Amino acid sequence: MSRPETTDNGRKSPENFKRNRVASSFRDPSGFVFFDNGVLCRQVNGVYSANYDLLLSSGLYDELIKRNFLVRHREERNTKLARDAYKIIRPEAIPFISYPYEWCFSELKDAALLTLEIQKIAMRFGMSLRDASAYNIQFLNGRPILIDTLSFEKYEEGRPWAAYGQFCRHFLAPLALASYRDIRLNQLLRVYIDGIPLDLASELLPWKTNLRPGLFFHVHVHAKSQKHYAKKSVPGSRRKNVRKFAMLGLLDSLKGAVSSLKMSTDNTEWADYYDDMANYSDSAMKRKKELVLGFLERTKPGSAWDLGANDGMFSRLADDKGIFTVSLDIDPIAVEKNYLRVREVKEKNILPLIADLANPSPAIGWANEERMSLVERGPADLAMALALIHHLAISNNLPFANIADFMVKICRFLIIEFVPKEDEQVQKLLRSRDDIFPGYKKDVFENDFQKYFTILDSREIGDSKRTLYLMEKSSGGGAN
């Protein structure tokens, strides 16, 4: 299964620069990531040469590759090197970059456990992770993987793990908050780009977390310690006072703390959406799947975004055809269900993520450029907007023209389902509000969308009164 190297997904690559440094790659003196004619490369600087060589010579690289824990890379032979450069390497490309605030509970948990496992393995080979940032992990073929090849340094017995605080902020704190307070608190990772501050996490967690040794020590005591020493300096603190067995004990304890965190099973409003779907008869559902498959066959997209994917039922149709699909939904529990299935069945083409289409991930970080907005990580070849339009148009008061304008930015082909006002689901949305939507009609919908798209096909979905459309971005249409 090959990923086209020149796909635009996950990139910021203006055509007029031959080499373009990735906006988020500036903090690390060991090297940086850039694009060379659309291909992702990483420069290894001279200062890092010894660690890079050790990564390879110690056998750690091979071990991590064998377990699929680290992205592979190739060394570039015939490139002119800058004065401070040691080597240029070409890492395996990730088809879609995602961020920890978009991950569901288990995605973040798996990323955390991977980080700890990598650190443990690294120590066996005489190396250690320099940082434990959640942004060093991405998802590839349905599994978390480390993408920062330059994150390793030689392990010196006795030296404390510099990444410990970061691990607790990026992984343990958000997982604990999601587990013990509210699943929605993972969004704090969007606000705190270097992880949730431990004193905040400590305040927000319920008192009973003091009874769990893992959280008591790694969050509460840790937070107090940071606060206490914030105004002091302890010159001896970074010297050799953490023996290897102590480090292993620490890692083991962190692993236990993370593993024991479970997501609360309270169902949100969507979780049983497909189970009690009164609006679809079995035959209508079957028909809808056939139609979607037909449209996918016809367009043969290289990549797809499933908008409002819920637990990924229709993403799986695309996945079966080998189409890489980003499966977006606003409900963290639906995304969790989706991911658990991906993990269980070992699906390789689906990436479930949490996204609110009415408020998608913005660009954040230094100069608002470190982490890309959702739109910047597009467009996809094809987007699916099934059972979605009424949520955008009615619940979010978005006019059809605005919706179409957004759609045209993020895809070329669009499979979209029009849900008429008489539909039971729409009636539910209108129950507690005034019907201020005189324009919510099929002909208006078609009209407005045709300013941006060409309607290639439209089919009724059996007895459900809903219509499925296949559209293509028209050359004259849209802001693009």
Partner 1 sequence: MLKFLPQIIFSLAVALIIAPHVSFAYIDPGTGSFIVQAILGVIFGASLTVRIFWRKIIGFFKKVFKINAKTDEQTGNDGQREEISGKL
237 touches partner 1 by CB under 8 A: yes
411 vs 67, 357, 383, 416, CA distance in Å? Answer: 35, 14, 6, 12
For the CB of residue 221, give the shortest distance to partner 1 in the complex, in Å: 5
Binds partner 1 by CB under 8 A, chosen from 83, 231, 346, 431: 231
Q: How many residues bind partner 1 (CB under 8 A)?
A: 42
Binding mask 147-186 toward partner 1 (x if CB under 8 A, else -) reads -------------xxx-xx--x------------------
5 touches partner 1 by CB under 8 A: no
37 touches partner 1 by CB under 8 A: no
Binds partner 1 by CB under 8 A, chosen from 234, 278, 367, 479: 234
For the CB of residue 246, give the shortest distance to partner 1 in the complex, in Å: 3
- Distance between CA atoms of 20 and 38, rounded to whole angstroms? 9
- Distance between CA atoms of 191 and 120, rounded to whole angstroms? 30
- Distance between CA atoms of 470 and 292, rounded to whole angstroms? 9
Binding mask 113-152 toward partner 1 (x if CB under 8 A, else -) reads ----------------------------------------
Give the pair of three-digit tokens for residue 341.
Answer: 């299935």
Binds partner 1 by CB under 8 A, chosen from 109, 212, 222, 288: 222
Binds partner 1 by CB under 8 A, chosen from 42, 109, 218, 391: 218
Give, as one character, the DSSP assignment of residue 151.
Answer: G
Beta bridge partners of 42: 33, 89
Cβ 412 vs Cβ 472: under 8 Å: yes
**Span from 229-237, 308-316, 352-360, 431-439 in contact with partner 1 (CB under 8 A):** 229-237
User: Pick from 69, 57, 212: which is nearest to 137 by CA?
Assistant: 69
**Span from 54-62, 237-245, 389-397, 435-443 in contact with partner 1 (CB under 8 A):** 237-245
Helix (H, G, I), strand (E, B) or coil at 155: coil
Binding mask 69-108 toward partner 1 (x if CB under 8 A, else -) reads ----------------------------------------
246 vs 76, 242, 243, 253, CA distance in Å? Answer: 40, 6, 5, 10
In the chain, % helix, strand, coil (3-state, to 5) comes to 40, 20, 40
Comparing CB distances to partner 1, the nearer of 165 and 302 is 165
Binds partner 1 by CB under 8 A, chosen from 248, 263, 430, 455: 248
Binds partner 1 by CB under 8 A, chosen from 249, 427, 435, 447: 249
Contacts of 56 (CB under 8 A, 6+ apart): none
Comparing CB distances to partner 1, the nearer of 226 and 454 is 226
For the CB of residue 198, give the shortest distance to partner 1 in the complex, in Å: 9
166 vs 75, 173, 359, CA distance in Å? Answer: 30, 10, 28
Binds partner 1 by CB under 8 A, chosen from 62, 75, 157, 252: 252
Cβ 224 vs Cβ 198: under 8 Å: no
Beta bridge partners of 460: 467
**Cis amide prior to 379 (ω within 30 degrees):** yes
Q: To 10 degrees, the CA torsion angle through 325, 329, 334, 340?
A: 30
For the CB of residue 203, give the shortest distance to partner 1 in the complex, in Å: 11
The pair phi, psi for residue 205, each rounded to 5°, is -75, 145
**Span from 90-98, 173-181, 228-236, 387-395 in contact with partner 1 (CB under 8 A):** 228-236
Comparing CB distances to partner 1, the nearer of 200 and 456 is 200
Q: CA 148: distance to chain centroid?
A: 16
Task: Enumerate residues 192-211 that contact partner 1 by CB under 8 A.
Answer: 202, 207, 210
For the CB of residue 190, give the shortest distance to partner 1 in the complex, in Å: 21
State the residues that interact with partner 1 by CB under 8 A.
160-162, 164-165, 168, 202, 207, 210, 216-218, 220-238, 241-243, 245-250, 252-253
